[in-house]
Amino acid sequence: MPPPTGFPTVTPAIIIKLNVTNANPHGIIHTGSTFTHFDCPSGTIESTEGFSPAFKAKVNFGADWCTFDADKEHGRLNLKVVARTDEGASISLDYNGVIRMDEAAWKVFTMQPDAKTMAFGAATGSCRFVVGDEKLKALENNVFAGNGRIIVGENGLVAESRLCQIVPSTDMD
């Protein structure tokens, strides 16, 4: 039997880099999850070479309302960001994802001094954009998914996500 058809493909589209400045732990909440709010007040959102619409934007607000499952195996990312392009257009995005937690990830998320950069592969998510500028409307009218990592540097943490545009299949099986 031939493999099924009709699956979408992906096109590299956008790279998000957010500076994580503070962790605000809240403790265990009503769901049994542990809730921590992370401030991400600056960073960049930029389209990849060849992607349309092309843009570069600076983040002027960002935060992650992150929860960690009671079994400590996964984290749930709930990121909201507002940015402005070099041309002055506003971009809002909501990113929801899941991260597989291990000892190395816990060190990063609890901002331990011996934390190390996390490689791609532990976190995946999807992103939804809201824009007003007509030149950027394609961001609202497409679906984006990707993966992320956290870079541990001398100046703190950088949360990086690389998003692909989901391209619908035109197969007729």
* Structural domain total, the chain: 1
| Residue-level length of the chain | 173
Whether residue 3 lies inside any domain: the answer is no
Q: What is the DSSP letter of 32?
A: S
Whether residue 140 lies inside any domain: the answer is yes
Kindly tell me if the per-residue pLDDT of 20 is higher than 90.
Answer: yes
Q: Measuring CA to CA, which residue among 47, 57, 28, 145 is closest to residue 98?
A: 145
Whether residue 1 lies inside any domain: the answer is no
| CATH number of residue 32's parent domain | 2.40.160.20
Residue numbers of the domain that contains 85: 9-167
- What does the pLDDT look like over 95-151, one tens digit per residue? 999 999 999 999 999 889 999 999 998 999 999 999 999 999 999 999 999 999 999
Q: What is the pTM of this model?
A: 0.93
Contact 94, 80 (CB under 8 A): yes
Whether residue 141 lies inside any domain: the answer is yes
139 alpha-carbon distance from chain centroid: 15
Q: Measuring CA to CA, which residue among 57, 40, 125 is closest to residue 91?
A: 57
* Share of the chain residues as helix, strand and coil, in percent rounded to the nearest 5: 10, 55, 35
